[in-house]
Structure 1
Amino acid sequence: MGILDLTRRSLAGTLGALVAAPRVFFASGAAHARDHLLDAEWLATAGVGEGFAPVVLSPDFAATPVGAGTQRLHWVEPSPDGRTAVAVARRPGTTAVLFDRRAGSVLASFEPGEGRVFSGHGRFIEGGRRFLAVEIDRDTGAGMVTRRVVEAGFAIEAEWASSGIGPHDMLPAGGTLVVANGGVEPHTPEAVGAEIAGASVARLDPVSGAVRSVAELSEDLSSLSLRHLTSGADGFTVVAAQDLLADGIARPLLYAVDGEGLRAFDAPDEEWRGLRTYVGSVCLDASGAYVAAASPRGNRVALWRRDGRFLGSLTLVDGCGLAPTREAGQFLATSGLGETVLIATDGEGVGVVARRSGGPRFDNHAVLVA
């Protein structure tokens, strides 16, 4: 089925106390007490003025930046405590920022291990008592997962190899820790002339870090860098790719992590080409039945059923951030032009049901808070 221009009515009828002080590279000018608490529905990161900041999005899409820093922040991970969150800088960043998403204040920051940089992603575990971060060795590109104690100022208590180079995203799923080892990162100096990314998806023991399995793509797909992950409550996991090559070949950019292998999603060749070799964000909806992927290079958001059946796509200029809403079949999408868009599917087509402009320059990701 092609792209459907669905009306808002048709879709709506179908879808029903930490010790560290902030470091000098992250200003606390917005950390003063507010006269009210923020109503946080989603969290994101964005370019704000000459710097970067975590952003709190209210149910009506109003965006409130928290603090301001010089490093580009990427993913935001809300804590199960219902109040705080951590925004992590992407490679070559060296800071992660803890903030109060209700008060709109910066609380603390922490750094990667010696000689390493953050990859942009991290996850709370154990009810928010521990935090996992993905890090990359500056010299070798080797990946490391660090486990940190939140009450100890995010001090590292253990670390494990990610079983690959250039890891980008990581999440707990199905009783394992899933890591997307991107290999060579597309659109970087290292990628010039490269044709093999060396990417993989590793499944690690969440307690010991022991390798349970490593999945790689076939030789004809070896130019793909596996970068972003999403998973459902049942452990179903999807990984999104970016391509080192711009040779016109329509390679699938979305894969289900199927046991110890990877299963490609289906889409017409023109849809894969329309993503212009790049998926910057992937997301499951609240029901776990639908998957969305966004390409800021292709100016598109595309949706699939969980089984890999393609549903359709729509235009969102420089759109990348994706998060579920609390309704089945709905997604929030954000763009680098300051747009927030509510996208929905009725299981057959794709449409826009709400839109707001005038926000900050949103980065790649958004997340729904509990």
Structure 2
Amino acid sequence: MGILDLSRRNLMGRFGDLARAPRVLFGGAAHAHDHALDAEWLATAGVEGGFAPVMLGADYAATQVKAGAQRLHWVEPNPDGRTAIAVARRPGTMAVLFECRSGAVLATFEPGEGRVFSGHGRFIEGGRRFLAVEIERASGQGVVTRRVVEADFAIEAEWASAGIGPHDMLPADGALVVANGGVEPHTPEAVGAEVAGASVARLDPQTGEVRSVAELGEDLESLSLRHLASGPDGLTVIAAQDLLADGMARPLVYAVEGEGLRAFDAPDEEWRGLRTYVGSVAVDASGAFVAAASPRGNRVAVWKRDGRFLGSLTLVDGCGLAPTRQGGQFLATSGLGEVALIAADEEGVGVVARRSGGPRFDNHAVLAAG
């Protein structure tokens, strides 16, 4: 099967029937080294025989953990640096805790009854708890579950996400920020739809009480608010995807500020160049720069934290984005197996290193715990 046949949408269909035997979720021999991998980043990728978490070293080389029969979307590193959780994308019903050194599956868990995972989750309390985003199959209403890691990920609390179709969530600025995407673009439900019904909710991280819900204005109601990222000083940004392909230049990146949203700035041709779709967003290690990737637009765009546009560059089918440990830098990955190191400063952006020949990277990359 060729690369074009393994698009992200095709992968979701191909790996949508999830394995039910938890301890054999990843089949075949482990490809991870027996010694510590010294991983700088974590990602997921399409590989021969399935789909797998992968480790990226400081030289950008990718090491496959093990192949599995489902589309794992986001990989969340445990603050202890030893383990990580890969969460299946909607309509997935499996999350996997694996050991980063060997790739061994340590535990699996499923969403609540009648629900599916959205592909994202976060460790909290130093790795003792895990927050997962779940969606009611019947209604599309969102649920955030808080799970106890040492109790086999048992749910100890769950709260409404204050919206439909939640996709991403993270703790930031003393609150739990949830991106309620509403109607998901490029799905059967989106055919003919013009209003996404998206919102950003801020919940109390202890009780789940809704502190605020921010929505976009009528001229932006076709946007689905989907991916979140935060910086070291509390900056939180959210990226959007548009239900409409009408040629309008709608902003697709926003800062979450208090109870509202602030649109980032860019020339109209730059917004159009993203082709209605931002698949990943990241804040650099200094908190000074924000990057967004569009696999449909084959480009990565970069802004200053205040929303001032700096520039964009080409990365064919590029979607995964993560900060490096150095300010002003981002790692970007593509579905064609390319890894690029992107540098930004006050004058603009550029690629300073590349490596090709890797696996078919999926939507996200994340900086490993260090």
Question: What TM-score bracket applies, with the shorter chain setting the length?
Answer: over 0.9
Task: Give the Cα–Cα distance (whole angstroms) in 2 for the partners of residues 22 and 176 of structure 1.
Answer: 36
Aligned-residue offset at 1:236: 1.4
- Matched letter for residue 58 of structure 1: G
Q: Is the 8 A contact 1:22 1:109 kept in 2?
A: no
Cα deviations by residue, 1:287-334 (Å, 9 ceiling, x for unpaired): 000000000000000000000000000000000000001111000000
Q: How many residues align?
A: 350
Question: 1:337 is aligned with what amino acid?
Answer: L
For 1:243, give the aligned amino acid. Answer: D
Q: Which residue of 1 is the match for residue 363 of structure 2?
A: 364
Give the distance between the partners of 2:213 and 2:327, measured in 1 at CA: 32
Change over 3 Å in CA distance of 1:68–1:230 after alignment to 2: same
Q: Identity percentage over the alignment?
A: 82
CA distance in 1, matches of 2:233, 2:90: 30
Q: Is 2:354 the counterpart of 1:355?
A: yes
2:77 maps to which residue? 78
| Secondary structure of 1:82's aligned partner | coil
Q: Which has the higher contact order (CA 8 A, sep 6+)?
A: 1
Cα 1:279–1:340 change in 2 (3 A) is: same
Task: Name the CA distance, whole Å, in 2 between partners of 1:35 and 1:79.
Answer: 20
> Partners in 2 of 1:256 and 1:308 — Cα distance?
8
Distance 1:243 1:34 in 2: 42
Alpha-carbon distance in structure 2 between the residues aligned to 1:249 and 1:33: 46
AA aligned to 2:91 is P
Query: What are the residue-to-residue correspondences of 1:1-370 with 2, within 5 Å?
Result: 23=22, 26-31=25-30, 34-369=33-368, 370=370
CA distance in 2, matches of 1:71, 1:244: 26
CA 1:25–1:262 in structure 2 vs 1: closer, same or farther (change >3 Å)?
farther
1:300 is aligned with what amino acid? Answer: R
Tell me, yes or no, if the aligned pair for 2:173 and 2:234 is still in contact at 8 Å. Answer: yes
Q: Which runs of 5+ in 1 are unaligned?
A: 1-20
Secondary structure at the residue paired with 2:271?
Answer: helix
SS in structure 1 at match of 2:22: coil
RMSD: 1.4
Alignment check: 8 A CA contact 1:252 1:264 kept: yes
Please tell me whether the aligned partners of residues 22 and 108 of structure 1 are also in contact (alpha carbons under 8 angstroms): no
Q: Is the 8 A contact 1:143 1:162 kept in 2?
A: yes
Q: Is the Cα contact below 8 Å between 2:232 and 2:286 reproduced in 1? A: no
State the distance in 2 between where 1:32 and 1:244 align. Answer: 40
Q: Summarize deviations over 1:246-273 as a string: whole Å, max 9, x none.
A: 0000000000111101110000000000
SS at match of 1:75: strand
DSSP 3-state at the match of 1:190: helix
CA distance in structure 1 between the aligned counterparts of 2:275 and 2:39, rounded to whole angstroms: 33
* Structure 1 CA distance for aligned equivalents of residues 329 and 32 of structure 2: 34
Distance 2:328 2:102 in 1: 31
Equivalent residue number for residue 18 of structure 1:
none
CA distance 1:248–1:211, change in 2 (3 Å): same
Does structure 2 conserve the Cα–Cα contact (< 8 Å) formed by 1:112 and 1:135?
yes
Question: What SS does structure 1 have at the residue aligned with 2:126?
Answer: helix
Distance 1:360 1:108 in 2: 25
Query: Is the CA contact 1:67–1:106 (under 8 Å) kept in the aligned structure 2?
Result: no
Unaligned runs of 5+ in 2: 1-19
In structure 1, give the amino acid aligned to 2:259.
Answer: E
Contact 1:31 1:106 in 2 (8 A): no
> Is contact 1:40-1:102 (8 Å) kept?
no
Counterpart Cα distance in 2 of 1:286 and 1:202: 25
